[in-house]
Structure 1
Amino acid sequence: MTSANTYPDRSRDRDDLQPEDMLRVIFDYIAKIASERQLDRVLLLMANMGREMIVADRCSVWLVDAVGQTLYTTVAHGVEGIRIPLGAGLVGHSIATGTPIFIDDAYTNEEFKDVLEMGALQTDRQTGYRTKALLVVPFRNNDGEIIGAYQAVNKLTSAATFSDKDLTYLTLAASYAGKSLESVLLHEEIEETQREIIFTMGEIGESRSKETGNHVKRVAEYSYILAIGFGMSKEEAELLRLASPMHDIGKVAISDDVLKKPGKLTEDEFAQMQTHTTIGYQLLKNSKRRLLKTAAIVAHEHHEKWNGKGYPQGLKEEEIHIYGRITAIADVFDALGSERVYKKAWELDRILQLIADERGQHFDPKLVDVFMEQLPRILQVRDQFRDDRLDP
């Protein structure tokens, strides 16, 4: 639990917002919320909007997890995000009954005495914070189902208690919250479905060539580590981690005779194998989703080489997208350390020597430097997702 002293002082004896100030707050936050798609950020914006609208010290936005039968908040002013059983606490009661809850003083309230003792008052004893007034307002989605609630703590005006006007304002915020969150949650569900599909399809592509699912996991994690080390934002590095499992999806169209051949490929067979890059690209390139567009780039360019001698396009140096350059080194490192139908796994020292030798040839020189810097983390991932075919 985080100490209340960690947070800025929000002194009492402030005034309620004037109508023009209320409109400014509403329009300011509506514009910000409308442009966000990350759930945590939307919840924080909504908590801040509610807190400003009714001049509260703290405000949190709770959501219902129907599958897990819990209530959770990833953002709560004054404490870390928490999860409680569905129906627990003041928020649970408000959601279960569909009615708001007013409490003027948590320490003298009799109606919810037991609930407060197990919740706010217990937290106060741990943090040194003093809870007085509380206001909880449930909110609904477009179908009228309750999907969460606002909880405000401590009114900062001289009255020190929440009013009917505060209820009206927070209900307005809650109505907007319900509709906005439904859109964000649907977006997240779609994104999660895409991730599952990408990872599953990546595994299918690898399993046809006798690879384990851990190969795509390792390549994904290596790619993330290299992207962060290269200076990418966490958001973009995460995008690459999610897309990289599709690097060999084009293998689904390569014949078993070629894909599973234990010996060296003939020139014609190797040419057929090379087509998996363009096949993967063609499968993914027309999507409007950023994640699948990234996967298309990875599939197309992860066999290009810094010196221009790769395939399928013979791109060189920075003509190769950074996603392709990163996935290339991640894939080669893991492929060499894994036993395949046509070879034994290499020892680590031999792999590292090859990567060093290929600096400026196969691989982006800067990425080789990043790889060597991040080697301890990469080896941790290697151990974490080890499989029976991975050589020590």
Structure 2
Amino acid sequence: MYKKELAPEELLRVIFGYTAKIASERQLNAVLVHMADMGREMILCDRCTVWLIDELNSQLYTTVAHGVDEIRIPYGTGLVGSAIQAGEPIIIEDAYNDPRHNADNDLRTGYHTKSIITVPFGNNDGEIIGAYQAVNKLTEIGYFTARDLELLSLAASYAGKSLESVMLHQEIIDTQREIISTMGEMGEIRSKETGNHVKRVAEYSYVLALGLGLSENMADLLRTVSPMHDIGKVAIPDSILNKPGKLTKEEFDVIKTHTNIGHQLLRGSKRELLRTASIVAEQHHEKWNGSGYPAGRKGEEIHILARITAVADVFDALSMERIYKAAWPLERIEQLFHEERGLHFDPAIVDVFFAQLPKLLEIRQRLTDIEEHT
């Protein structure tokens, strides 16, 4: 069924609604989704794609394309490449009669592209950073008009400048994450662990958090901060940290201080990432029944992210060979988690652990270190 062009008041409602959403959003992918949805609703098309430039790989790519997954094409190819290179919009009534149309994506997805409108957008300095591309007009006329170009150009002008701000924010977050991951690896290297330990714990934690019903944002936050769970080990003497035999009570008391040390190192930050990392560092050795350390917290007194990290950390510790023990077989690990459900570990997280075990094992296989495998 054909759609009718939006009345002015309807169009204003769409524009104001999406500009408010874009202005309040700090997650890059969410902004791109809002941009694509705004474009589709404004000009009544079947699909709207937001393309960005990957300068490092000389590609154009989209993570947001209605109906399809990520697409990457060589820079300068296709209609979108032509529009970006020329810095000018393109309107095509019949894509298959235009030699610039790249039909490979249609062949791969089974979709039939008819009419196309492509509008480049720039940043605050006027540099082109991407393009809107709308496909298949849904009104009776069946192709895009000068009015559609005007509307999509309006959306591109606003969204492109907003996108630059979000991309800069994302770059800062990515840099923080890289620093956090590197610091976490430094803590593990001192205890003869390899960098993949913190990577595995991060990925396990993310899967468990999602399985437990936490939001994508919270799960991603945990994946980012969990590599710092043992950062306090940087202050533990090597003679204790890497002792091959059984620790004395006094030595174990020293080991336990790494939780408070990690908390002290991170807690003063104003950044959400580091504040959350400080909580995980302090509480990941607490136990559901209150017998853990450093404070003997019990049940839900322990932060949910620390409870998840505890399961992920123990699973990895038991799975891999360490200086003081051999790797456990999977059956023995499963038995321990059954036995410690409601004692060491939150019962709900243990249930999620078993439900998500195939995913965890795939991660373990993918991130197994060569040193640990031999």
TM-score (norm 1): 0.85
Instruction: Specify the alignment match of 1:4 in structure 2.
Output: none
Corresponding residue of 1:119: 103
1:251 deviates by 0.8
| Partners of 1:166 and 1:114 in 2: CA distance | 23
Q: CA deviation at 1:175?
A: 0.8
In the alignment, what sits opposite 1:368?
A: 350
Tell me the distance in 1 between the aligned counterparts of 2:341 and 2:137: 62
**Structure-2 residue corresponding to 1:164:** 146
Map 1:105-116; keep pairs closer than 5 Å: 105-106=94-95, 113-116=98-101
- In structure 2, the residue matched to 1:131 is 114
Percent of counterpart pairs with the same letter? 63
Cα distance, 1:322–1:126 mapped onto 2, change above 3 Å: closer
Q: Does residue 179 of structure 1 match 2:153?
A: no
CA contact (8 A) 1:339 1:389 kept: no
Tell me, in whole angstroms, the C-alpha distance in 1 between the residues paired with 2:330 and 2:110.
50
Change (3 A) 1:141 1:226: same
* Distance across 2 between alignment mates of 1:158 and 1:209: 68
Q: Does structure 2 retain, via aligned residues, the 8 Å contact 1:325–1:364?
A: yes
Residue 224 of structure 2 corresponds to residue 239 of structure 1: no
1:224-303 aligned at under 5 Å gives the runs: 224-303=206-285
Task: Supply the distance in 2 between the matched residues of 1:150 and 1:340 (Cα, whole angstroms).
Answer: 52
Amino acid at match of 2:99: D
Give the aligned residue type for 1:320: I
**Structure 2, unpaired ranges of 5+:** none
Change (3 A) 1:347 1:21: closer
CA separation of 1:363/1:126 partners in 2, compared to 1, >3 Å: closer, same or farther?
closer
C-alpha displacement at 1:388, in angstroms?
Answer: 5.3
The equivalent of 1:84 in structure 2 is: 73
C-alpha displacement at 1:391, in angstroms? 7.8
Q: SS state of the match for residue 200, structure 1?
A: helix
Please list the CA deviations of residues 113-146 of structure 1 after superposition, one character each: whole Å capped at 9, or x if unmatched. Answer: 3213x439x83897363513x3221111012110
* 2:50 matches 1:50: no
Aligned to 1:60: 49
Question: Secondary structure of 2:227's match?
Answer: helix
Superimposed CA distance per residue, residues 152-184 of structure 1 (whole angstroms, 9 cap, x where no aligned partner)? 334444554444333322221111111111122
Change (3 A) 1:92 1:258: same
Pick the aligned partner of 1:94 from 51, 62, 83. 83
Letter in 1 for 2:182: T
User: Partner of 1:316 in structure 2?
Assistant: 298
Moved more, 142-151 or 213-222: 213-222
Partner SS for 2:342: coil
Q: Give the CA RMSD over aligned residues.
A: 2.7
Q: Separation in 2 of the partners of 1:198 and 1:125?
A: 39
How big is each residue's C-alpha offset from its partner over 1:240-282, in whole Å with a ceiling of 9 and x where there is no partner?
2222111101111222222222333344332222121111112
Partner of 1:339: 321
Q: How many residues align?
A: 374
- SS of the residue corresponding to residue 304 of structure 1 reads coil
Q: Which residues of structure 1 form unaligned runs of 5+?
A: 1-8
* Alpha carbons 1:87, 1:93 under 8 Å: kept: yes
Residue of structure 1 in register with 2:13 after alignment:
24
**What does residue 215 of structure 1 align with?**
197
Which residue of structure 2 aligns with residue 37 of structure 1? 26
Match of 1:191 among 166, 170, 173: 173
Cα 1:376–1:61 change in 2 (3 A) is closer
Q: Which moved more, 1:54-63 or 1:304-313?
A: 54-63
**Corresponding residue SS for 2:118:** strand
| Conserved? CA contact 2:106–2:113, under 8 Å | no
TM-score normalised by the chain length of structure 2: 0.89
| 1:349–1:299 distance in 2 versus 1, CA, 3 Å | same
